[in-house]
Homo-oligomer: A and B are copies of this chain.
Amino acid sequence: MFSSDAFLVSNFFTILYLTGFKPLNPLEREAYVLVLKDKKIIITDARYRGEKCNNDAEIYFLNSGERVGDVIRRICNEYLVKTLGCEADDLTWDEVLMLQKIGFQIIPISHAFSSQRSIKTEEELFAIKQACHIGDSVLKDITPFIHPGQTEKEIAWYIEKSIREGYNAELAFDPIVAVDSHAATAHYNTKNGEGEIKNGSLLLIDFGVKVHNYCSDITRMVGVGSVSEEIKNIYTKLLNVQNKTIMYVKNSKQLKDIDEFCRAELQKNSLPNFNHSTGHGVGLEVHESPRINALSIDNKKVGQVFTIEPGVYIPNKWGMRIEDTITISLQGEGEALTQFPKNLIFV
């Protein structure tokens, strides 16, 4: 698979993808996987003794005081490994220095598994569809209860409780609930803010569900009471652009074409450009390969799953975004997996 005798995987999600092993904290380095010619060896610490992984992997538990570099060296020597590929986009400089000291050749490979992970198997797609379906249901459940006086945080918490208590699923990420000018920050942090819904507010709701480790991602807009005609008009145009972009997917070859098309359509409609990607891959991570932006070098491929999410942001006033998670069908078309109606929701 790689131009090395073996490959050292360090990324939390790639480890999960390859072995089914899932340590507690993705923020800490709790495991590595050595991918050898005919086996995968997970190296983790003894706190995980008893945890499971897929049948085609085995787990080595570090003894107290044992250094991971020594174990990697021992296994690599045993399997006559001379060159070791590693995830250059994940391994830290300290880890590189540690491996270089061991004495065999380390080869940096960026995004080694991104392409493979971006093409979903039927089983993966099934989990993503479930996650999208639950997201649709959550929107149906919670939107009727949105009203002036609520805070962004309260709504985010209702969404979370609905996902977790109502559907026994997990969050793909902390919901973004952003009212009026807050929504002009595309990545508004609801947990940091104190926004409250008023009559006439425009509300952005961006959240994702996780089922069997796979994510969905959806954004819908809610108008509370009387919303200005200007906003309604712009919303209609944006929705039109978003729908046309999804339709255009079948004609695209490279993913950057989709980004270009979307921005050109915005311009045709005299809408301002937005300052984020038109979309991103969705899978074990809510942001993964491929990227749908001007820098993307990937082609469209059957089985990819990514978002289409153009937005209009007017600083200090309001922001709107419409986002679906789509997959590339056998016919090369963009098939929306999130199916909650896309009209401006009025409450």
Contacts and interface: CB of A to CB of B under 8 A. Distances in A.
Interface string A42-71: 000111111110000000000111000000
A86 B22 CA distance: 29
A50 B186 CA distance: 9
Interface in A164-193: 164-165, 170, 173-174, 176, 181-182, 184-189, 191-192
Contacts of A89: 92-94
Interface string A78-100: 00000000101111111011000
Contacts of A294: 64-65
B92 A91 contact: yes
B185 A51 contact: yes
Given A90-B92, A294-B65, A276 B45 contact: yes
A275 B92 contact: no
B90 A185 contact: no
A27, A91, A294 pick with most chain B CB within 10 angstroms: A27
A126 interface: no
A23 interface: yes
A224 to B, nearest CB: 21
How many copies of the chain does the oligomer comprise? 2
Given A187-B48, A275-B46, A173 B24 contact: yes
Contacts of A94: 88-89, 108, 110
A275 B186 contact: no
Nearest to A190: B24
A175 to B, nearest CB: 11
Interface string A264-288: 0000000001011000000001010
Contacts of A86: 93
B189 A51 contact: yes
Q: Which of A46, A47, A157 has the most CB of B within 10 A?
A: A47
Contacts of A88: 92-94, 97
Contact of A185 (B28, B49, B181): B49
A163 to B, nearest CB: 12
Given A23-B187, A47-B186, A50-B315, 20 more contacts: A12-B27, A23-B189, A24-B174, A25-B173, A27-B285, A47-B275, A47-B276, A48-B185, A49-B184, A50-B182, A50-B185, A50-B188, A64-B273, A88-B93, A88-B94, A88-B97, A89-B94, A91-B93, A96-B96, A157-B164
28 contacts: A24-B187, A25-B173, A27-B285, A28-B287, A30-B187, A45-B275, A47-B186, A47-B275, A47-B276, A48-B185, A50-B188, A51-B189, A51-B192, A63-B275, A64-B275, A65-B294, A86-B93, A88-B92, A88-B97, A89-B94, A91-B93, A92-B92, A93-B93, A93-B108, A94-B108, A96-B96, A157-B164, A157-B165
